[in-house]
Structures are given as structure tokens and as C-alpha cells.
């Protein structure tokens, strides 16, 4: 009896999952702060919404946070090209959630959205907490959150089924610390929508809640492979790779005799093709052939006399 296979989610499905999950997260996080000043209540609501969203949509996609998407891309788990689409989806979903919350709050007669959208804030808007401190708090706590999420969702984790629980608990614990200081963002998509409708100083302070979580997510993406080891299944087009130092081993890899020729384009010269395995010249494929000449009468490598790499009439060329 054959085992049914599950098709990989399409891009459209991933966008829909990110939009619905982020919408849920933002409307709960901001909506709770509108009606309560209790840090524990707000933190638990934020964490529970995160756990539920990951549990519901995680099979398809559940970053729900531009900082988490940046961390996933930096850690080698999400292609950078795809990360841009997911981040755009999350921000739009956050704005739509804030719009719905804005409409619901107008159920109160004379409601004024300025300062009353459950947005993130600091400074004079919140007990005089300094901008640099708010920035540092959001950066560090976001990095810790994203690092935990990357760890529990790692394919190498012994029980990924509990990932929603651990992720939600981590967010609730960190939010309990941050709510009294900034309202706990950790997520640009959670901050942008409510601030746009709150207007005024909330928009002026928005840079902290975009830049600090973004840098925190990138920091977590860099720390993840250093702390937990790099996965062998890194996604093409992802990660941050620094140029390798030119040591004896790496320098040798630039020598033509040490290269992996199976990954190179054929070397064609005057109707002859170099066979790197047999280490000899052979007649080229008909599509490349020109009037054949004996290649041994010319230097086979660029940089030697008669073998200028930029020449088209006597030097060996990589096509």
C-alpha cells in the first residue's frame, strides 16, 4: 500500500497563511492593549495568539513577523527572494488588522484613535523611557525570540510538534518584560498598522519598532548556525556567506588542475575540447566545431605566453 504524498505548498498558499496568521496576531496584540494596562494579560494574549497562529498555519507558512523572516533567511532556511514577498504580505496584513480594529473601536461614541490603538511607544508617551533604551530592548528581545523560534522549528529538533507551544511561551515571557517599557513589538508588522491609525507621535516613533526588530532578527539568524550548528539542508539563495580566507587549501582550489570540472563549462579552442578527466584534447561537439587545428601548438591556459584570457584569437576561453 503506497503512502500518500503531500504536495509542497504553493506561493499563493504561503501568502494566504502568512496574511491570516499575521492578521490574527496583530489584532489580538493591539486590541488587548487598548483595553488593559496589565502587562501579564497583554503578554499572555500576545503569546497565545502566536501559538495558535503557528499551530494553525505552520504546516504551510507561519513566520508572521518580518524579523522572523529575516532571521530565517539569514540562517539559510528561506530564500531572500521569497523573504521579500513574505515580509510585504505580513505588513499589509498588519495594516488590515489595524483597520478592522480601528472600525471596531468606533463602536464607542466619540472615539479618538490618536494614542488609543494599542500601538508601541516610548519616551514621553510611555513614562519617559529613552529612545536608545527602547531600541536596545526591542533588538535584544527580538533576537532571543527569533532564535528560540528558529531552534524549535529546526528539522533537527526532536519534537517539532511542540514548536507552537514553545514559540508562544517564549513570546509571552518576553512580552511580559517589554510591555511596561514599549508595549512589546518584536514585530514590525505588529507595529506599523496600529501606528498608522494612531497617527502623530506614534508614527514618528515607528522607526524604532521597524529597525530594532529587523536587526534583532538578522542577529538571531547569524547566531543560530553558530550556536546550534549549520544544517546540511541549507536552502539555495539564502544565508549570509562571508568570503573564504585565502589559505593554502583555498588557494589550491583556484588552480585549474584542482577545480571540480564537472561544474564548469567546456573549454573549446579551434574545434577542440579539453577533457579534464583524460587530460587531453578531443574534437569538440559539432555545434562548437571550427576548422580543427592541433591545440598542442598553443598554450592551453590563460596567463601564459599566447594565452591571454581576454584574447579571441589564440587564448583558451571559458564559455
Cα 284 from Cα 87, distance rounded (Å)? 49
pLDDT at residue number 11? 86
pTM: 0.72
pLDDT at residue number 269? 64
Domain extents in the chain: 11-228, 261-318
Sheet holding 272-275, edge to edge: 280-283, 272-275, 267-269, 317-318
pLDDT at residue number 312? 43
Cα 303 from Cα 309, distance rounded (Å)? 6
pLDDT at residue number 265? 62
Name the DSSP class of 275. Answer: E
Residue 178 has which C-alpha cell?
517589554
Domain covering 11-228: architecture: Up-down Bundle (1.20)
pLDDT at residue number 124? 82
pLDDT at residue number 36? 85
pLDDT at residue number 276? 64
pLDDT tens per residue, the chain (319 residues)?
444 455 778 889 999 999 999 999 999 999 999 988 899 999 999 999 999 999 999 889 889 999 999 999 998 888 888 999 999 999 999 999 999 999 999 998 888 888 789 999 998 877 889 999 999 999 999 999 999 999 988 877 677 788 899 999 999 999 999 999 999 999 999 999 999 999 888 999 999 999 999 999 999 999 988 887 776 566 667 676 644 444 444 444 444 444 444 455 667 766 667 666 665 667 776 554 444 444 444 444 344 444 444 444 444 333 3
pLDDT at residue number 285? 64
Amino acid at each position: 500500500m503506497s503512502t500518500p504524498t503531500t504536495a509542497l505548498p504553493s506561493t499563493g498558499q504561503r501568502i494566504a497563511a502568512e496574511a491570516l496568521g499575521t492578521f490574527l496576531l496583530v489584532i489580538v496584540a493591539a486590541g488587548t492593549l487598548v483595553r488593559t494596562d496589565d502587562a501579564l494579560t497583554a503578554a499572555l494574549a500576545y503569546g497565545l495568539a502566536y501559538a495558535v497562529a503557528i499551530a494553525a498555519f505552520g504546516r504551510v507558512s507561519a513566520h508572521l513577523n518580518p524579523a522572523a523572516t529575516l532571521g530565517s533567511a539569514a540562517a539559510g532556511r528561506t530564500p531572500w527572494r521569497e523573504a521579500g514577498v513574505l515580509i510585504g504580505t505580513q505588513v499589509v496584513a498588519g495594516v488590515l488588522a489595524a483597520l478592522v480594529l480601528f472600525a471596531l473601536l468606533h463602536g464607542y461614541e466619540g472615539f479618538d484613535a490618536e494614542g488609543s490603538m494599542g500601538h508601541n511607544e516610548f519616551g514621553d508617551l510611555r513614562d519617559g523611557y529613552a529612545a536608545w533604551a527602547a531600541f536596545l530592548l526591542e533588538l535584544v528581545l527580538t533576537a532571543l525570540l527569533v532564535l528560540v523560534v528558529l531552534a524549535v522549528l529546526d528539522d533537527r529538533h526532536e519534537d517539532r510538534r511542540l514548536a507552537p507551544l514553545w514559540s508562544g511561551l517564549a513570546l509571552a515571557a518576553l512580552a511580559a518584560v517589554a510591555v511596561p517599557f514599549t508595549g512589546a513589538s518584536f514585530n514590525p508588522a505588529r507595529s506599523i498598522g496600529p501606528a498608522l491609525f494612531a497617527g502623530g507621535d506614534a508614527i514618528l516613533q515607528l522607526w524604532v519598532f521597524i529597525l530594532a526588530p529587523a536587526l534583532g532578527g538578522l542577529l538571531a539568524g547569524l547566531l543560530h548556525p553558530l550556536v546550534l550548528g549549520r544544517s546540511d539542508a541549507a536552502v539555495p539563495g539564502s544565508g549570509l556567506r562571508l568570503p573564504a580566507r585565502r589559505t593554502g587549501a583555498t588557494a589550491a582550489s583556484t588552480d585549474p588542475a584542482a577545480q571540480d570540472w564537472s561544474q564548469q563549462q567546456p573549454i573549446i579552442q579551434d574545434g577542440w575540447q579539453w577533457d579534464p578527466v583524460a587530460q587531453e584534447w578531443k574534437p569538440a561537439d559539432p555545434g562548437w566545431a571550427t576548422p580543427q587545428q592541433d591545440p598542442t601548438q598553443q598554450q592551453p591556459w590563460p596567463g601564459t605566453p599566447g594565452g591571454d584570457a581576454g584574447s579571441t584569437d589564440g587564448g583558451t576561453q571559458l564559455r
